[in-house]
Structure 1
Amino acid sequence: MNMQISNPKTFDARELRDVLGQFATGVTVITTCGDEGQPLGLAVNSFASVSLDPAEILWSIVSSAPSRSAFEGHGAFAVNIMAASAKEQTLRFAQPIENKFEGVDWTPGWCDVPVLSGAIATLECDVKRAIPCGDHHIVVGSVRAIGQSGGAPLVFHKGQFQSLGEPI
């Protein structure tokens, strides 16, 4: 089945961002280690499951991110699915600040990648591949370890952090 668009509409990046913002997502902090073993991390909402067998996930990072080479070069990373109660901690990883881990409680996981205590679930992964796509790289990971503590997730919707409402 071929879908055709009869009257394509032009739009700018802001309009596209607003439309994409209608899709509520969970919030993750993806972590790895830098060249000298220092912990690195960034807030990401472009995360998804790829496969259960084999266990694989994906996330995307802007190609120009200063930490992109570390994520691909270290060979391992952790996906920390953040709790609503960890909003302030998560905000540190969404900003271009020098030491994002200052005051953040974490333990070393698979290949020493930081696993954050503010996460309600974690997936520790090997980098399977990084695929250039537009202005981002899609990182596919093979899941090596998982964990969960439960709790309410942090959600991102319409450009703002939210908490999850009651089931309907």
Structure 2
Amino acid sequence: MPTRTDPARTDPAAVRSTFARFPSGVAALSALVHEAPVVVLASSFQVGISLTPPLVLFAVQHGSFSWSQLRTAPRIGVSVLASAHRPSVPTLTRKDLSARFDGLETEVAATGAHYLSGAAAWMECSVHSETAAGDHDVVVLRVHDLGHAADVDPLVWHGSTFRTLRGTATSPDHEDSGRTPQ
């Protein structure tokens, strides 16, 4: 193991490579802005920041055009991507913002929160706070409504590639919440 003063620890390529070893879920954050869907895809999405009130967070790069639009929405839909969404990732990240949902099934809540159909979990959120952190902003979201599908495998970002988790539930609360986005 390298010493704590090893310069490779601050090399951006080494940092990126090391950070890639931590598996994380992938979430699409989306809302209707001026009647058009806007989306930010985040592998930095984290849940369980607070249970009372329920808070989640993600990080977004400074200067993100999509985030500058999305952050103005009163409610943002968070869709935790399912393994079935893997082929959709290139569509969701297209340079042409108006084509990011082409061919994808979506749902819109009365609040304007926008969701991908078939998500492993979904949350309706509003911006709670934003804090500058290095070359990103850390955005804390307040959860107003949520649900999940226990029988849907999540999409995971690990080792700079998408992977699928499959397993047997052992938690007593691992069951379908029976709710869908309103």
TM-score range, shorter chain: 0.7 to 0.9
Task: Give the superposition deviation at 1:88.
Answer: 1.1
Hey, what does 2:180 align to over in structure 1? Answer: none
Task: Give the superposition deviation at 1:165.
Answer: 4.3
Alpha carbons 1:31, 1:77 under 8 Å: kept: yes
> 1:81-100 maps to which residues of 2 (within 5 A)?
81-98=80-97, 99-100=99-100
Structure 2 spans left out of the alignment, 5+ residues: 169-182
Task: Give the superposition deviation at 1:89.
Answer: 1.6
Structure with a larger share of its residues in strand: 1
Hey, what does 1:152 align to over in structure 2? Answer: 153
**Residue identity matched to 2:105:** D
Q: Work out the CA distance in 2 between the residues paired with 1:74 and 1:43.
A: 16
Task: Give the superposition deviation at 1:8.
Answer: 2.0
Q: Work out the CA distance in 2 between the residues paired with 1:110 and 1:29.
A: 18
> 1:1-168 maps to which residues of 2 (within 5 A)?
7-10=4-7, 11-34=10-33, 36-49=34-47, 50-98=49-97, 99-109=99-109, 111-150=111-150, 151-166=152-167
Q: Work out the CA distance in 1 between the residues paired with 2:61 and 2:23.
A: 20
Alpha carbons 1:110, 1:125 under 8 Å: kept: no
- Structure-1-length-normalised TM-score: 0.87
Hey, what does 1:3 align to over in structure 2? Answer: none
- 3-state SS, counterpart of residue 86 of structure 1: helix
- Structure-2-length-normalised TM-score: 0.81
- 3-state SS, counterpart of residue 70 of structure 1: helix
What is the total number of aligned residue pairs between the two structures? 161
